[in-house]
């Protein structure tokens, strides 16, 4: 028994040595907005990275030196390719040669708004098929507390290898903020929770090589809960801002002025802002993972559900604002030309997942409006059974439009030109706060 313990201990020590001397071969499964920037940071510190993705277009793009993630410059990708630091493949057999595997696959919702772990399960099964002694597996996908322990671990244990001795498993939630030029994969603290203390130690050691700060917690469940708390915190506070906006609208008070004045208080207040709804890969989705898990354990999360209801009604409110604005101009929504300014879920990104702008435009289209849009980051969208292409934002386009609606406040928009040539503007993002004109309708 002592000899076996010594052998298993040496497995962890061997991996530790590889990580420290940069000889470890690192792998990333899922090369999207989380996985590709993570791989870049690993490569920046001298590791050899193999990226794995089922999407052939992504693989071909990476191997050709073309980045499709805005936070990953093409020049950086090409430099790492030229140096032999990164390769990309669809082959799952590449897992066999890896020392560490970071799983960064999507965790969407089903149509029933329940968690969809199919991508996580598929990735875990792929790792399990090629699992060998000495490998470290880290799940980064956002999910409910218990996923690493209850879903991933049993799959990997089918190999008959023992966690904490033969292989190592941990959870570390992704905390990427797409488009953020200040906080990146490198300087956002990394939370780590391993199945065993040894798992935590090795996962923390890995991330310490390319992340400025690592925060270890007692378990994967605690680490999973950290991410859900962070995004639920944002969801409920945005819901409060949205409800205050609806209330201020009935009072004839400018909500933006109220928030800006409130945030001058140096303590006890954190500014959150209203908008046309929640969008993106995390905030509209993550609270559902938490509430689902809570109900499975007999707890009814009423406060979180209320926030979701408030946030979900904002697209309808935006439609009503457009209808009212047109009515004041003696125009009907039906037959009016509506131009959506921005369709990405947030400024200066090309991500339209769960974007409230799409829902607003879809609702306007269903009510008979003639809808078009302009977004420098999103060349094409689908509304219902219609495919729309982004139009160039010109004075002629604006002058031919009955109402322009600011849905995403991209910094690249020429707002002075928009104000000068639009007949009517409904601004849901306070992008036109520096302009005052009777044809501007603020949120």
Active site residues: 282
212-to-17, 39, 41, 192, 278 alpha-carbon distances in Å: 20, 15, 11, 13, 30
Q: How many residues does the chain have?
A: 443
List the alpha helices (DSSP H) in 71-152.
Answer: 74-82, 118-130, 147
Element (DSSP H or E) covering residue 88: strand 86-89
CA separation for the pair 389, 107 (Å, rounded): 28
339-to-170, 318, 347, 395, 401 alpha-carbon distances in Å: 47, 14, 17, 13, 7
Is-contact 220 193, C-beta < 8 A? Answer: yes
Is-contact 331 401, C-beta < 8 A? Answer: no
**CA atoms in the 13 A half-sphere facing the CB of 185:** 20
Residue (of 30, 93, 45, 69) closest to 179 by Cα position: 69
Q: For the chain, how are helix, strand and coil distributed in percent, rounded to 5?
A: 40, 15, 45
Q: Are strands 48-52 and 86-89 parallel, antiparallel or unpaired?
A: parallel
Element (DSSP H or E) covering residue 250: helix 220-251
Query: Partners of 370 in the beta sheet?
Result: 337
Instruction: Provide the 8-state DSSP code for 391.
Output: P
Query: Partners of 340 in the beta sheet?
Result: 373, 405
Residue (of 389, 419, 424, 383) closest to 403 by Cα position: 424
Q: Give me the residue label for tokens 């700060």.
A: 213
């Amino acid at each position: 028994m002592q000899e076996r313990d010594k052998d298993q201990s040496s497995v962890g020590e061997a991996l530790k040595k590889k990580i420290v001397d940069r000889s470890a071969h690192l792998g990333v499964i899922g090369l999207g907005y989380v996985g590709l920037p993570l791989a870049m940071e690993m490569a920046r510190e001298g590791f050899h990275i193999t990226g794995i993705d089922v999407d052939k277009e992504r693989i071909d793009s990476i191997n050709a030196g073309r980045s499709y993630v805005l936070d990953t410059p093409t020049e950086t990708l090409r430099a790492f390719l030229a140096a032999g630091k990164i390769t990309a493949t669809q082959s799952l057999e590449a897992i066999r040669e890896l020392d560490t595997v970071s799983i960064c696959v999507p965790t969407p919702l089903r149509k029933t708004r329940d968690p969809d772990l199919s991508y996580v399960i598929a990735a875990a099964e792929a790792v399990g098929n090629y699992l060998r002694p000495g490998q470290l597996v880290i799940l980064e996908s956002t999910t409910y507390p218990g996923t690493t322990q209850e879903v991933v671990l049993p799959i990997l244990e089918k190999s008959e290898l023992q966690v904490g001795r033969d292989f190592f498993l941990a959870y570390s939630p992704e905390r990427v903020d797409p488009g953020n030029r200040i906080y990146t994969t490198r300087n956002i603290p990394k939370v780590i929770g391993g199945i065993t203390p040894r798992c935590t130690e090795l996962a923390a050691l890995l991330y310490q090589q390319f992340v400025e700060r690592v925060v270890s917690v007692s378990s994967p469940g605690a680490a999973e809960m950290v991410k859900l708390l962070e995004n639920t915190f944002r969801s409920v506070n945005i819901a409060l801002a949205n409800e205050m906006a609806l209330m201020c609208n009935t009072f004839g008070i400018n909500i933006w002025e109220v928030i800006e004045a409130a945030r001058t208080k140096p303590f006890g207040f954190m500014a959150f802002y209203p908008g046309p709804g929640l969008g993106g890969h995390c905030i509209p989705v993550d609270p559902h993972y938490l509430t689902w898990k809570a109900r499975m354990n007999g707890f009814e999360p009423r406060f979180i559900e209320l926030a979701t209801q408030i946030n979900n009604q904002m697209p309808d409110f935006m439609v009503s604002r457009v209808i009212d604005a047109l009515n004041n101009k003696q125009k009907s929504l039906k037959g009016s030309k509506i131009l959506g300014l921005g369709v990405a879920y947030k400024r200066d990104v090309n991500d339209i997942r769960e974007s409230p702008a799409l829902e607003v435009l879809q609702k306007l289209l269903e009510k008979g409006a003639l809808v078009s849009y302009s977004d420098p980051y999103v060349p094409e969208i689908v509304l219902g059974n219609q495919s729309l292409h982004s139009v160039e934002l010109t004075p002629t386009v604006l002058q031919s439009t009955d109402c322009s609606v600011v849905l995403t406040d991209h910094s690249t928009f020429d707002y002075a030109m928009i104000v000068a040539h639009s007949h009517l503007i409904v601004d849901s993002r306070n992008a036109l706060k520096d302009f005052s004109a009777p044809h501007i309708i603020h949120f």
